[in-house]
Amino acid sequence: MPVRTVLNTTIEHVSILDEDGNFDADLGRDLIPDDDAVRLYEHMSICRHFDEIAFKLQRSGRMGTYPENRGQEAASLGAAYVLRPDDWLVPCYRENTGLFWRGLPMEMILLHWMGDERGNQIAADLAMTPQAIPIGTQLLHAVGLAWASKYRGEDRISCTFFGDGATSEGDCHEALNFAANLNIPVVFLCQNNGWAISVPTKIQCSAPTLAQRGMAYGMPCVQCDGNDIFAVAKVVRDAAELARTEHRPTFIEAVTYRLGDHTTADDARRYRDQAEVDAWKKRDPLLRLRNYLSERTLWDDDREKALAARAKKEVAAAARRAEEIADPARTDMFDFLYATLSPDIEAQRSTARTSSLGVDPTQLDDARSSGIEEAV
C-alpha cells in the first residue's frame, strides 16, 4: 500500500503589540477602544501594587504564602475583558487581574492565602470558582461547568487557566479529551511562563509548542504573546465565539513569564539565570501597555502619579478588610459542611466536645437540653 499523509497542521503565533511598541493595526483594529485600554492599564497597575502588598504581608508573617502574579497580568485580564459576565472563569492561582476585573473583592484573595476559608465564599453572580491549588484539577471542573450549560441550552461557556506544568498532568488530558469528543464549549488557556516551579518547559515537554498538545484531541490550537493584552483579547474572543456557536473547545498557549518566585516559599535565583529574568522584564505587559498609551497621548506622568496614589489607597483598604474581619464562629465548620446534621454531629456542634461522644451517653442529653449560645 502506498504511503500517504493523514495530517498536516500548523500552529499560529499571534502578536499585536510587541515589546518594541510595534502595533499591528489590522489585527488590533477596534479590538480594545482607547478608553478601555486606559481602564485596563489602570486595573493592571492596581493589581501590580496588590502583588507588592501581598508579598509584604507574607514576609511580615501576616499571611501564610503567596504566589506573585507579576509579569503575567495580561493573560487573565485579556480573557476576562472579552468574555461575558456570565461565562465561567475557572482559575488556578495567578489570575488576580482577571478575577478582580470580573468583580471579585481584593480581600478575598488575601483571605484565601491567610487560610481563611471565607476567601473562597464567592458570590454566585460572579461566575467564577475558587483558586485551584492542586495542579490541573480545575480543567475538569471547567469542562463540567460548560457541559452543564450546554445541557441546559444556555450559551454561556467556561474559560480555565493553567500553567505549563499542568499540561503534563493526567487531569489536563482527560479534560481535553472530554471537551473535544463531546463538543463542550471550553476555552483552555495555558499560561506558559517557562517554569513548572523549578523545572523548565523544555525538560517537561519536547514539542516546540504546548499549543500542539490540544491537536492530539482534535481541537483548534493557537499560540499568542501572553504579555500582549491585545493578542490575548483576540485569541480568547475568537475561541469564545467558536465555543458559543459550535460548542467547540480551543487550546490557547499564552507565552509569558513570572518575574517573581513561584511562591514566597520559593527562591528562583537557585535555578534561573538573572539574564533571562532581565530580558523578560523588558517584555513586561504593564510597561508595554503604558508605552502604547503614552505614544497616543492617552497617558502622562501626572495621571501615573494619581494612579499610584489611588492604588495605594484601594489596596490598603482591602488589606484592612482582610485583617480586621471578624473571627469565624466555631459552628461554621458544621453549618457550611452539612445540609442536615446527624444526632452525633449535632452533639459535637452544640457542646463543642468530641472526647466523650459514644462513651458518655449523657452528652447527647446535654446537647438536646443546651442552647448553642449557652454551650459554645
Q: Which of these is catalytic: 156, 258, 272, 283?
A: 258
Calpha distance 16→224 (Å, rounded): 9
What do you get for the CA distance between the two ends of the chain, in Å? 80
**271 catalytic per annotation:** yes
Strands of the chain, DSSP E: 13-14, 88-90, 158-163, 186-192, 195-196, 199-200, 221-225, 250-255
Calpha distance 250→237 (Å, rounded): 11
Calpha distance 370→362 (Å, rounded): 12
Contact 75, 255 (CB under 8 A): no
Contact 70, 54 (CB under 8 A): no
**Nine-digit cell string for 196:** 513548572
Calpha distance 118→107 (Å, rounded): 10
**247 catalytic per annotation:** no
Instruction: Give the angle subtended at the CA of 92 by the CAs of 327 and 292, to the nearest 5°.
Output: 110
Q: Which of these is catalytic: 262, 272, 288, 349?
A: 262
Q: Which amino acid is at 125?
A: D
Contact 57, 110 (CB under 8 A): yes
Contact 252, 222 (CB under 8 A): yes
Calpha distance 352→349 (Å, rounded): 6
| Residues forming beta bridges with residue 196, ordered by sequence position | 199
Contacts of 161 (CB under 8 A, 6+ apart): 75, 76, 79, 89, 90, 91, 92, 94, 95, 98, 138, 189, 191
DSSP string, 195-236: EETTEEHHHH--SS-SGGGGGGGT--EEEEETT-HHHHHHHH
Name the 3-class secondary structure at 16.
coil
Q: Which of these is catalytic: 84, 271, 320, 338?
A: 271
**270 catalytic per annotation:** no
Contact 79, 256 (CB under 8 A): no
Contact 286, 44 (CB under 8 A): yes
Which sequence positions are flagged as catalytic?
A: 258, 262, 271
